[in-house]
Amino acid sequence: MSQTHKPTRRRFLQTTAAGTAAFTIVPRHVLGRGQTPPSETLTYAVVGNGRRKDAGIGCAGARKKIAVCDVDTKHIGGEPDNKTRYTDFRRLLERQDLDVVCIATPPHWHALVCIAAAQAGKHIFCEKPMTKFIAEGRSVADAVNKAGVAFQIGTFHRYGNAKNKSHVENHKIIKHGLMKDLSGIVAYAGARNRTGRTDLTEQQVPSSLDYDMWLGPAPYKPYNSARVHYSNRFYWDYEGGDLTNFGAHSYDPFQWSFAKDDTSPVRAVPSAPWPQHPDAVGQYGWVELTYADGLKVVVTGGGWKGGPKYETSAQRRMLGAADLDDAGRQKLAELPDPEPMLSFGDAVRQGKQSGGHAESSHRVCTALHLANIAIRMGRTIHFDPVKEQITGDEQANRLVNIPMRAPWHL
Amino acid sequence: MNKTEKTPDDLAALFKKLPAQDYAQAGEIGKTLVAGGANTVRLLVSLVGDEFGAADGAKPKEALHALVIYASRPGAGAERKVVAETLSKELAAEHSEELKAFVTRQLQLCGREEDVPSIARLLGSDRLCEPATQAIVAIGGKAARQALQEALPQSADQRKVTISQAVDLLSAR
Q: Which one of B15, B16, B22 would you mutate to disrupt binding with A, by most A Cβ within 10 Å of its Cβ?
A: B22
How far apart are the C-alpha atoms of A327 and A178, rounded to whole Å? 9
Q: Mind listing the pLDDT tens digit for each residue in A329-358?
A: 999 999 999 999 999 999 999 999 999 999
Beta-carbon separation of B69 and A377 below 8 A: yes
pLDDT tens for each residue of A229-282: 999 999 999 999 999 999 999 999 999 999 999 999 999 999 999 999 999 999
- Whole-number Å distance between alpha carbons of A93 and A11: 16
In this predicted structure, what is the pLDDT of residue A36? 62
Nearest to B69 among A221, A378, A409 (CB): A378
Chain B residue with minimal CA distance to A273?
A: B21
Contacts of B78 (CB under 8 A, 6+ apart): none
Tell me which chain A residues have a C-beta less than 8 angstroms from the C-beta of B110: 395
User: B8-29 pLDDT, tens per residue?
Assistant: 899 999 999 999 999 999 999 9
pTM across the whole model: 0.94
Q: Is pLDDT above 60 for B147? A: yes
Residue positions counted in chain A: 410
**pLDDT-based confidence at residue A32 (cuts at 50, 70, 90):** low
Would you say how long chain B is, in residues? 173
Tell which residue, A155, A170, A147, has the closest CA to residue A353.
A147
Neighbours of A241 (CB within 10 A): 29
pLDDT band at A34 (very low <50, low <70, confident <90, very high): low
- For the stretch A63-84, pLDDT in tens is 999 999 999 999 999 999 999 9
- Residue A177 CA to residue A335 CA, distance in Å, equals 12
pLDDT in tens, B90-100: 999 999 999 99
User: Is residue A3 very low, low, confident or very high in pLDDT (cuts 50, 70, 90)?
Assistant: very low
CB A389 within 8 A of CB A136: no
A-side interface with B, Cβ within 8 Å?
198-202, 219-222, 224, 273-279, 282, 306-308, 376-379, 392-395, 398, 402-407, 409
Which candidate from A306, A395, A405 shows the least CB-CB separation from B109?
A395
pLDDT of A30 over the 80 cut: no
- Chain A residues near residue B109 by CB distance under 8 angstroms: 395, 398
Residue among A279, A392, A406 whose CB faces B74 most closely:
A392
Q: How many CB pairs under 8 A join A and B?
A: 108
Q: Which residues make Cβ contacts (< 8 Å) with residue A142, sequence separation at least 6?
A: none
User: Contact A286/A311 with Cβ under 8 angstroms?
Assistant: no
pLDDT at A6: 43
How does A84-106 read in b/e, with b if 16+ C-beta sit within 10 Å?
ebbbebeebbebeebbbbbbbbb
Give the number of other Cβ atoms within 10 Å of residue A168's Cβ: 16
- Tens digit of each residue's pLDDT (9 = 90 or more) over A163-213: 999 999 999 999 999 999 999 999 999 888 899 999 999 999 999 999 999
Lowest pLDDT segment from A153-167, A307-321, B121-135: A307-321
Express each pLDDT in A99-125 by its tens digit: 999 999 999 999 999 999 999 999 999
For A308, nearest residue in chain B (alpha carbons): B22
**What is the ipTM for the molecules in this complex?**
0.97
Q: Which positions in chain B have a beta carbon within 8 angstroms of at least one beta carbon in chain A? A: 18-23, 26, 51-55, 58, 61-63, 65-66, 69-70, 72-74, 98, 101-102, 105-106, 108-110, 127, 130-131, 133-134, 137-138, 158, 161-162, 165-166, 169
Sheet hosting strand A100-103, strand order edge to edge = A85-86, A63-69, A42-47, A100-103, A123-126, A151-153
Residue A27 clears pLDDT 50, i.e. is over it: no
The answer to whether the beta carbons of residues A16 and A30 sit under 8 Å apart is no
pLDDT score at A21? 31
Whether residue A12 is predicted with pLDDT greater than 50 in this model: the reply is no
Q: What is the pLDDT of residue A303?
A: 72
Cβ pair A202:B53 closer than 8 A: yes
